[in-house]
Structure 1
């Protein structure tokens, strides 16, 4: 007999790792104990040399499906006493190691459907392979007293399962049953009695609007097949056009959408994100679910409550975040009752507290991989690995941007990119952001050595980052917006500091550039420490400043004036209706004088302008991305791409001029060309032009990889066309997947830039 101390690192909290170790030890005849100690699992093991070697090998090879063993260290130790036990958790620092909330596993789904089972139709059924995790954690290590289940004492039957190594609920911290666990109820005017799920389903079938308390917050639910119910929800929520997410079981989903094998796997994954899927012709959904779109956001039921409610309703359900327009999602009972009054008719409630707000994750399959568009429930807070030569990086707190905000905390070669926190231009979201910052840094015992912020000094996140730096005596590292986008794509793809520079294409709305102007369509040459712009889209004045981001006809006027000349714009009969009743003369005077008309090279505003010209965008957008989404949905066929002119560099900066595109587009409109073909030609022309500019930059600087990021690259057609053009030129595209390409990934890029600048 020999003894060993074995230390396991990685994702080993909340995944059933200690029960797995216990069962493995008994199977191999190992004596000793296992316990949590912060990020680590410590094992004191005894056995023959062969048994210990087999035990250590199996710890990684046979670990639970949700675990991620990143390191395993062994050293000699005294032989422990006979038997094997799970010891109480020890002290230790926890940095990144909590598993996200996990969708209901097949075994628990079967149990709630079995009339003979103790948990038949129980809405809070879970085991070590599924159920709430991050949404209920109040402290670490992950033990029941440090969760919102602390107030529910286990009944004898649950305690017996919890203590039984042969049971799949052995040390399942959220274990519960109808006798001792959380309970459901339905509240609101005229709510029927009886079983809350059955009564709620009856209300939904009757066209009523319900608030449903879930894992990370409340949803607003209605019958997704009822035009009247969807219209009522939109009117009450003041959400006229933004698509609504739909929840459907597998059979319903197959009837509604075209689903590839890769997309089916994503829907069935434990993370259970909202997935953008193409609608089938004649799908039984209200047309108001996603007006003008060819895709819908569809998600599988991921809690027992969802499975029960869908089965009782017998139809797909809208499941959209429960909030008033632009406000954060409600996740506390009293806040929901107040904020959702007048929107919902009833509340399906439960008494398990939610520790933190978690919006649903959103993803789509594009360019050969699943691309995360919003990181939330099911994905956060899984850590992201940094390239191997970041192992000795100092800990960084990165604050992200103003829109789609998220935080990033790093520990050596691992980064914790937080869940989606919302747009900080809303006061309530800003307050929630500060609460999330305190929550994350305390929960993960993070002690940063440097704070990274966006270059824009007026972002709330930047101001807060500077204040934290001043209060704690920490250096603050400003990172240019598009450099952060490129660095995020590089780091996720394993690009090492030692690999040198890449070319990069950054396409988004707006970000403050190194020269103090607004950027949004750039070609860069950058490594982690520095970035230089080598090409840009020709800038236009944004008349009215922020108003140009909300009213697409404003950038349309600026683009057309520049490309065609004002006289041609004023005399073109096809444009008369576009600008009828608009203060064109006033805006032109503003642009001429540079009065509240900052110049910007923005891909987002170019998309808005083309959508406005093609009649795909309203005069005033109701949500960010509305015009660009409509333009992508309209694109049809594979026409010849519209031309853009690449001017040679002047003072080291080349310019991608869209004027030829506008001239051909106007001619096509006059000729009555189908709108779908024009939209497609625009997408492919933009992809071709930027890929060519990036290829020129790569050749000039001896580079072989091109990073692609920015919110505009969430457009699948544009991304796939750009990737195809780059590969045809022998270049390696570095494309984000787990890190959102939009500003939700900014903090990740800021963190690696700040870390690299602090390393030798």
Structure 2
């Protein structure tokens, strides 16, 4: 006797549009003998299926446990409905009638199936620069609205030809409802333009490859914006690109043709290989191989190199033609956002690139490449952007009302919290000019529209001069009813670490970074806090020192050396750093004893700067954190060693003991690498000891580590080992950057927890 039919209405939430979910359901229904329909709507995927109870159970299990590769299922909810007697299963048209809650997939690297077709001379998409299918290609950067259908993407202006439309409407085809689907007959057109915008004759790929091989600089339109390219092994070309871009020392990323080529540049372990070849295709920082075939100007003075593999058909075609590794760096001048609009790119990059490999598919949302390291087998993000955004993170607190986290000043991201789902934005950049601020406000408006979220709460940094803070204050003044919640910078750092680990606290937190506005008016940056999502208490910190010249001291680490010597009463006589910077040194010393108010800081980042200048590594920096990076690299020549001893005065960590010891070793001729290693060991011992003392005093056994200084792996490992040895559980970042790119997540977590408690 046959089992009676039952019918269920099933709501599937998450990233379930544009990832082949409906054909996946259609195929499952066929296998299980179910009738009904599947459709997209404003909240995700809706299914009505009828058949045996056993078949419906199997469908629900498959939806949860084995969705399509690009899908992210956050919820599957089923309710019984009356049987209708359907005899077939159909894919119904999309609908959109209520509040939008669907999620958009991140942009995804070209899949193996499309690559095979791209290189098959007998395939109709042979060498088609825009080949894509349900499993790969542009998503977030081309979406203009939801539901995710072709009319709500920048492909709306490219009507499908008959052959593509046939594939698009065939549930059994890999391109069924793949919104960017196209072919050479109906898709966008690749072209090569001169710097003045005129068309260059010949095959665009072949001509562009010849230009690169001849030492030229090329602008290449990617998924989230334009890149600047040059042959990575060509000394003159890379040096010329660096000079034109006004980027003195900050390393360039490189695009390698494949995994074997990447392994000639840096050390590729299983974790690095997995990330390089993943659908996200990030830049992965590799320890550089001695003799790597790279121009010196690619990453001057840096023992790591950022490597990625091709992730668009244009990249694959270009590197197939060139058979070489190229520099691929953001298409901008230093401190500007990446160019993504064609006319803007021509105007801004025309003085840098000799030609533009471009096309006529618009980019809706700019998105820089993501950057990460692999640490102890786990990802350690440096920049979370293309390939990840707008994928949500579920955190351990639910917002009673939507929250916008406005982020920090440097490495800005913003974040929207809807319920328990946090949506960190793409990397916006440093909010230091009008162009980046426009990109920031546009990004907030666009993501809010895609999520159908109007924030009720704005969470912002306490620093009154941050443009993100001013944005929050101005918007709240213009929109009555919006509530403001100020979140202290280091509280936000540690809250982000807690939230991404699914914790709410309380815990001990160590926050070390460059600078953050403290509630006492001091610029914090070397802090041990008792922290939860709802508040914090300062338990210990590095001793405060002057920041002579304010922002100038950040760009000139020798000033921090002068500040620390002054604070510790150390005579600079005979020290090379003082001699190199005379007579300005004398002026700075006078400033610190004058009646002029000088900012004060407890920053660990500025302490690194001071030691880097003292040992002769760098007196001036050309990008944020450069002195600290080079000090860490200097220490890498030395293995584990004893650190300089550091004392405590209650909750004050006497970091001046480190400076005195550095100077003593300098005066006896100790080599810089050993000094750097002893400094690192002394600092991580002191921070760990402070946290252990704090844990004992509070009865807590969890320690969170956050702040940009923890991008220093020698420090991170040293602190973590000592805390673990003391029996404490250590939380670190693996989904958001420990630097200021993670601040916005911490802000929304704090705001949600604060609002829920109110």
Question: TM-score normalized by structure 1?
Answer: 0.96
CA-to-aligned-CA distance 1:690-733 (integer Å, 9 cap, x gap): 01101110110000101110111111221111111111111111
- Superposition pairs of residues 356-367 of structure 1, within 5 angstroms: 356-367=365-376
CA-to-aligned-CA distance 1:518-546 (integer Å, 9 cap, x gap): 10111101111111111111111011111
How many angstroms apart in 1 are the aligned matches of 2:679 and 2:400? 43
**4+ runs deviating over 6 angstroms:** none
CA-to-aligned-CA distance 1:334-370 (integer Å, 9 cap, x gap): 0000001211100001110000110001101124411
- The reply on whether 1:716 has 2:725 as its aligned counterpart is no
Name the residue aligned to 1:385: 394
3-state SS of 2:120 partner: coil
How many angstroms apart in 1 are the aligned matches of 2:173 and 2:519? 59
- The reply on whether 1:211 has 2:219 as its aligned counterpart is yes
Name the residue aligned to 2:476: 469
- The reply on whether 1:137 has 2:134 as its aligned counterpart is no
3-state SS of 1:123 partner: coil
CA-to-aligned-CA distance 1:240-299 (integer Å, 9 cap, x gap): 100000000212101111111011001111111111001111111111111111100111
- The reply on whether 1:298 has 2:299 as its aligned counterpart is no
Name the residue aligned to 2:628: 628
How many angstroms apart in 1 are the aligned matches of 2:76 and 2:113? 30
- The reply on whether 1:483 has 2:485 as its aligned counterpart is no
CA-to-aligned-CA distance 1:551-598 (integer Å, 9 cap, x gap): 111001111222352xx21x225444333x341222122212352521
How many angstroms apart in 2 are the aligned matches of 1:280 and 1:745? 30
Aligned-residue offset at 1:84: 1.5
CA-to-aligned-CA distance 1:356-395 (integer Å, 9 cap, x gap): 11000110112441111111110111000111xx246332
CA-to-aligned-CA distance 1:85-120 (integer Å, 9 cap, x gap): 211112243346111000111111111111111111
- The reply on whether 1:605 has 2:606 as its aligned counterpart is yes
- The reply on whether 1:202 has 2:207 as its aligned counterpart is no
Within the candidate set 433, 436, 454, 2:440 is matched to: 433
Name the residue aligned to 2:725: 728
How many angstroms apart in 2 are the aligned matches of 1:674 and 1:264? 36
Preserved contact between residue 33 and residue 44 of structure 1 (Cα < 8 Å):
yes
The range that moved more, 658-667 or 43-52, is: 658-667
Preserved contact between residue 577 and residue 613 of structure 2 (Cα < 8 Å):
no
Within the candidate set 544, 552, 556, 2:549 is matched to: 544
How many angstroms apart in 2 are the aligned matches of 1:468 and 1:237? 34
Aligned-residue offset at 1:432: 1.4
- Superposition pairs of residues 325-474 of structure 1, within 5 angstroms: 325-387=334-396, 390-391=397-398, 393-470=400-477, 471-474=479-482
3-state SS of 1:440 partner: helix
CA-to-aligned-CA distance 1:59-99 (integer Å, 9 cap, x gap): 12221011122211111123342211211112243346111
Residues 721/209 of structure 1: CA separation in 2 closer, same or farther (3 Å cut)? same
3-state SS of 2:141 partner: coil
Residues 399/32 of structure 1: CA separation in 2 closer, same or farther (3 Å cut)? same
- Superposition pairs of residues 515-526 of structure 1, within 5 angstroms: 515-526=520-531
Name the residue aligned to 1:572: 574
The range that moved more, 469-478 or 536-545, is: 469-478
How many angstroms apart in 1 are the aligned matches of 2:603 and 2:513? 7
CA-to-aligned-CA distance 1:448-498 (integer Å, 9 cap, x gap): 2211111112211111112222313121000100001110000111113xx
Name the residue aligned to 2:270: 261
CA-to-aligned-CA distance 1:383-425 (integer Å, 9 cap, x gap): 00111xx246332111111111111111111100111111112
Preserved contact between residue 644 and residue 658 of structure 1 (Cα < 8 Å):
no
Residues 105/277 of structure 1: CA separation in 2 closer, same or farther (3 Å cut)? same
How many angstroms apart in 2 are the aligned matches of 1:676 and 1:393? 52
How many angstroms apart in 1 are the aligned matches of 2:19 and 2:199? 39
Name the residue aligned to 2:22: 18
Aligned-residue offset at 1:678: 2.1
3-state SS of 2:362 partner: coil
- The reply on whether 1:238 has 2:243 as its aligned counterpart is no
Residues 4/639 of structure 1: CA separation in 2 closer, same or farther (3 Å cut)? closer
Name the residue aligned to 1:3: 7
CA-to-aligned-CA distance 1:590-609 (integer Å, 9 cap, x gap): 21235252110011111111
- The reply on whether 1:179 has 2:185 as its aligned counterpart is yes
Name the residue aligned to 1:71: 75
Residues 488/640 of structure 1: CA separation in 2 closer, same or farther (3 Å cut)? same
Residues 644/601 of structure 1: CA separation in 2 closer, same or farther (3 Å cut)? farther
> Number of paired residues?
746
Preserved contact between residue 18 and residue 177 of structure 2 (Cα < 8 Å):
no
Residues 573/32 of structure 1: CA separation in 2 closer, same or farther (3 Å cut)? closer
How many angstroms apart in 2 are the aligned matches of 1:729 and 1:457? 39
- Superposition pairs of residues 638-653 of structure 1, within 5 angstroms: 638-649=639-650
Aligned-residue offset at 1:193: 2.8
Preserved contact between residue 201 and residue 313 of structure 1 (Cα < 8 Å):
yes
Preserved contact between residue 366 and residue 720 of structure 1 (Cα < 8 Å):
no
Preserved contact between residue 398 and residue 752 of structure 2 (Cα < 8 Å):
no
Q: Which runs of 5+ in 1 are unaligned?
A: none
Name the residue aligned to 2:534: 529
- The reply on whether 1:700 has 2:702 as its aligned counterpart is no
The range that moved more, 390-399 or 413-422, is: 390-399
Name the residue aligned to 1:563: 568
The range that moved more, 398-407 or 608-617, is: 608-617
How many angstroms apart in 1 are the aligned matches of 2:583 and 2:269? 46
3-state SS of 1:759 partner: helix
How many angstroms apart in 1 are the aligned matches of 2:480 and 2:341? 32
How many angstroms apart in 2 are the aligned matches of 1:575 and 1:620? 11
Residues 173/282 of structure 1: CA separation in 2 closer, same or farther (3 Å cut)? same
Name the residue aligned to 1:277: 286
Q: Which runs of 5+ in 2 are unaligned?
A: none
- Superposition pairs of residues 117-132 of structure 1, within 5 angstroms: 117-132=123-138
Residues 586/573 of structure 1: CA separation in 2 closer, same or farther (3 Å cut)? closer
How many angstroms apart in 1 are the aligned matches of 2:199 and 2:645? 60
Residues 573/21 of structure 1: CA separation in 2 closer, same or farther (3 Å cut)? closer
Aligned-residue offset at 1:648: 3.3
The range that moved more, 99-108 or 439-448, is: 439-448
Aligned-residue offset at 1:215: 0.5
Preserved contact between residue 576 and residue 614 of structure 2 (Cα < 8 Å):
no
How many angstroms apart in 1 are the aligned matches of 2:437 and 2:63? 43
- The reply on whether 1:146 has 2:152 as its aligned counterpart is yes
Name the residue aligned to 1:591: 592
3-state SS of 2:75 partner: strand
How many angstroms apart in 2 are the aligned matches of 1:646 and 1:613? 21
